[in-house]
Chains A and B, each alone.
Chain A
Amino acid sequence: GAGVSQSPSNKVTEKGKDVELRCDPISGHTALYWYRQSLGQGLEFLIYFQGNSAPDKSGLPSDRFSAERTGGSVSTLTIQRTQQEDSAVYLCASSLELGNQETQYFGPGTRLLVL
């Protein structure tokens, strides 16, 4: 079956603009995760969803970042008033259930460049 998909694959934007990144998890997967991979910070956790709720938002870098998930499926990560330090690859992952025995399946990522 289809894996995790993300769109767009690449996004170039100007500083100060808002961007939306989309993640389509594997069908039937209840848990969804967002990570960010940047040159200076490596791969870092941002937020996770169980169904449509996000119990832990502590990884979001600032209040310019928000995320939502609807219908227990598609998730959108929104960055408002983008800054150059937001440039990174944003990765989404999903797993069948929420739990430490579950494998996370990653999408190809969205490469964001803020000029």
Chain B
Amino acid sequence: KQEVTQIPAALSVPEGENLVLNCSFTDSAIYNLQWFRQDPGKGLTSLLLIQSSQREQTSGRLNASLDKSSGRSTLYIAASQPGDSATYLCAVSTGGYNKLIFGAGTRLAVHP
């Protein structure tokens, strides 16, 4: 059974720091890995989608890497800002129809 773990569960950093969020999964037979952002009381916003054949994806200050063989992904946030404060969720797709298995998330707080 696929399990997704995210470390740390919570993180508090001062504005401007570069930071890394970690995600691991137990079964390397995934189709893709996705990173989402969730703001309190709101739905999820897709940040990056990495296909299983890819190693990384970049969008603005965000960079996500995927090492399928070791079952790991990292989300790198450069020059963090208070507006980055949110919960970041990692999810892997385990079926041909993009069924997502989620981690519990990392709650990030960036303070001025």
Contact = CB atoms under 8 A, between A and B. Distances in A.
Interface string B27-53: 000011010100001111110010110
A102 B44 contact: no
Interface in A14-62: 31, 33, 35, 42-45, 48, 50, 55-56, 59
Contacts of A50: 97
A100 B103 contact: no
B26 to A, nearest CB: 15
B55 interface: no
A91 B97 CA distance: 17
Contacts of B42: 108-109
A35 B44 CA distance: 11
Nearest to B47: A103
Contact of A98 (B45, B46, B97, B103): B97
Nearest to A49: B97
Contact of B49 (A31, A98, A103, A108): A103
A100 B102 contact: no
A1 interface: no
A31 B52 CA distance: 21
A35 B43 CA distance: 11
11 contacts: A35-B102, A56-B99, A95-B98, A99-B98, A100-B31, A100-B52, A103-B49, A104-B46, A106-B44, A108-B41, A108-B42
